[in-house]
Structure 1
């Protein structure tokens, strides 16, 4: 399939691009800093486009089979519109060019609990500040999710827990409800996104991705 990845130079976006490439897809990686993109391969085309520019988004979306979005915004106490405006531009471009499949990273959990002494201290002293700065981002992500839900496209929203780094993909769980204190490995999140492109198990659903400690890794390739 011909996939386009927005937010390709984010931590999750780079993993999504690499996994999609390794699964046999051709990928257009969208980033505002093409020279800094670390993946160089004939199956990956790197394009410079600002997701806030509707004309630029419209130009890059055409001739693709599916859109994957790993767009995020840094924590800020000020109002945030990046996620929702990007979603509006992407959805409009998809409708213009007849592209129906959309997979987005949605709400990122900020409430994962760390019950260690250091973690409890962090929650008392730092967590209120983090949550205050994250509230504007979460509000914008909710607006983004509402835009996606109302499109009529074949969408899937992925809601990770607190993002962590692991060296391997686990036998992660995809559920309708968030697991208490869930963590999500970026590798697991990327794997779930790429797998869903072809398996289409969760069209029209918002799902949570929870990382497991070990187990069999689900197939990322198209089912036979």
Structure 2
């Protein structure tokens, strides 16, 4: 399969690129700064493109069989539009070039966000997480989650064979574990980046969850909530495994 990966220079994107190459796929790693991308392989093409540049996105998608989007930005107070703008350019380019299969990443916290999709079930988590911790995080990252909602709406409105994957709190490990898929409301507090990458490759090369939103979460070797809060949200310290 010829696979374009947007956000390939993220931790999850690098894992996905390595896993896809190891499985025999041809990968186009779409990154803003190609000179900083650390991977190389005869079946890897590094493509410099900003997702806000429609023409660059079209060039990256031409000739591909499928697309994975791992776009992301950190929490901040300013309005976020890069996710919705980027996915618009990606889906438009896919339609233009006849590329049908799309897998994209948002967040399991959309299930508690104020602007979540109408009719979506609440998360099946303990009271403290549902009513205190998760609302705090979605308030802290409101501009990001607002744009994730817009991104999901854009994807759902297309005629593509799309899958939206919602991970839980992200952390780093070195090896793929027996992670689980489930409905968006399924309980599961953590998702390792390497498991997320593997789940994206599983989805984009298969058709099990086409036109579906699925959660993916790790159950073995998970960190404490305090570790995730400090290292992922507050950016204090670092993980033992990069």
- TM-score, normalization: structure 2? 0.78
Partner of 2:87: 87
TM-superposition CA deviations, 1:112-144 (whole Å, max 9, x none): 9xx9xxxx9xx89xx94x543311100101100
Partner of 2:175: 168
Partner of 1:219: none
Quick one: distance in 2 between partners of 1:147 and 1:18?
29
TM-superposition CA deviations, 1:151-182 (whole Å, max 9, x none): 01000000000001122111111001333352
CA RMSD of aligned residues (A): 2.2
Shift in Å, 1:194? 0.4
Shift in Å, 1:107? 2.0
Q: 2:191 matched to 1:188? A: no
Partner of 2:214: 207
Q: 2:42 matched to 1:42? A: yes
Partner of 1:9: 9
Structure 1: gaps (5+ residues): 215-224
Q: Give the aligned length.
A: 203
Partner of 1:73: 73
Quick one: distance in 2 between partners of 1:70 and 1:151?
18
CA contact (8 A) 2:108 2:215 kept: no
How do 1:92-171 residues align onto structure 2 when only pairs under 5 Å count? 92-109=92-109, 128=136, 131-171=138-178
Shift in Å, 1:108? 4.9
Quick one: distance in 2 between partners of 1:150 and 1:5?
21
Quick one: distance in 1 between partners of 2:212 and 2:145?
19
CA contact (8 A) 1:107 1:142 kept: no
Quick one: distance in 2 between partners of 1:88 and 1:149?
11
